Amino acid sequence: MQHMNGILRPTKGTVRVLDMTIRPGLKQNMKEIRRRVGLVFQFPEQQLFEETVEKDLCFGPRNFGAGPEEAKLMAHQAMELMGLDPVLLGRSPFQLSGGQMRKVAIASVLAMDPDVLVLDEPTATLDPQSREDLMKLLHRLSTEKNKTVILVTHRLDELLELSDRIVVMHEGSVLFAGSKKEFFHQSLMLESKGIELPKSIRLFHNLERSFGVKLDPSGFSPEKAAETIASALGNISDR
């Protein structure tokens, strides 16, 4: 993951990110790639270090050449984007709740207006409501702000509803890459490799085995899953 914005360099091969290629042993200016690809660590306390939230959010823009007032404006815009109360700007980031700290860490990256946002286990340690709220915010960043959002997670249930594309890594290699529908049709193969399937997909396969039907779900949200199940049961009753 840290290869995506040049924190780690490849020792062999190449890493292509957007229109940039990172090569081993070659001195390259990483500033542009780090501006365009924002990385949010799993634990936000590793990313926040200033006395106040505002200083933390201004650090990135200032580092990339923004003046003091411009940096403050970018900080305020990032706070608004993450749905955070501006009153938090004057507080220490370490006085915030876990959910607030996670959002501030994301805002500190968004303040630099990256094209790509990469997040490592963004919902780890959050309660269910905070997880749902954060995932909705990330989805808005993708759909309304045209950001590419890459989530690294073990929680496949969270990904199915919101993601456009899924990549499954297994023992350092890509085991699967494709759409949600393709993921469903390849899911039994993935399960045989030790990948734990989301609850909705396990339910669909149980229905297929129990009723001898083939399902082709249009989505994996609770509403879409209910539609798929109702349609399948309706077809069975019509036999």
- Tens of pLDDT, residue by residue over 86-104, are 999 999 999 998 889 999 9
Mean per-residue pLDDT, 151-161? 85
Phi, psi dihedrals of residue 210, rounded to the nearest 5°: -70, -35
- What is the total count of domains within the chain? 1
The pTM is what?
0.85
Query: Which amino acid belongs to residue 64?
Result: F
Which comes out higher in pLDDT, residue 70 or 222?
70
Q: What is the mean pLDDT of residues 72-90?
A: 94
**Distance between CA atoms of residues 127 and 142, nearest Å:** 23
What single letter denotes the amino acid at residue 105?
A
Any domain includes 2: no
**pLDDT at site 203:** 87
Domain membership flag for residue 6: no
Give domain status of residue 46, yes or no. yes
The torsion angles phi and psi of 118, rounded to 5 degrees, stand at: -110, 125
208 CB-near residues (< 8 Å, 6+ apart): 214, 215
Q: Which domain holds residue 109?
A: 15-153
> Is residue 131 domain-resident?
yes
**Exposure b/e, 99-123, CB count within 10 A at least 16 = b:** bbbbbbbbbbbbbbbbebbbbbbbb
Q: Cα separation of 45 and 190, whole Å?
A: 34
Indicate whether 139 belongs to any domain: yes
pLDDT at position 38 is: 93
Task: Determine the length of the chain.
Answer: 239
Rounded distance between C-alpha atoms, residue 102 and residue 123, angstroms:
8
Mean pLDDT score, 58-81? 94
Work out whether strand 20-22 and strand 15-17 pair parallel, antiparallel, or are unpaired: antiparallel
Residue 238 predicted with pLDDT over 70: no
CATH number, domain containing residue 38 = 3.40.50.300
- Segment (H or E) for 64: none
* Domain-located, residue 128: yes
**For residue 235, pLDDT beyond 70:** no
Is residue 199 situated within a structural domain?
no
Average pLDDT over residues 125-148: 89
Strand order in the sheet with 148-152: 37-40, 116-120, 148-152
127-136 tens-digit pLDDT: 888 888 888 8
Asked whether residue 31 is assigned to any structural domain, the reply reads: yes
pLDDT number for residue 166: 94
- The two tokens of residue 201 are 């997909």
- Write the DSSP string, 174-204: EEEEE-HHHHHHTHHHHHHTTPPPPHHHHHH
Residue 122 CA to its chain's centroid (Å): 7
Whether the per-residue pLDDT at 239 is higher than 60: the answer is no
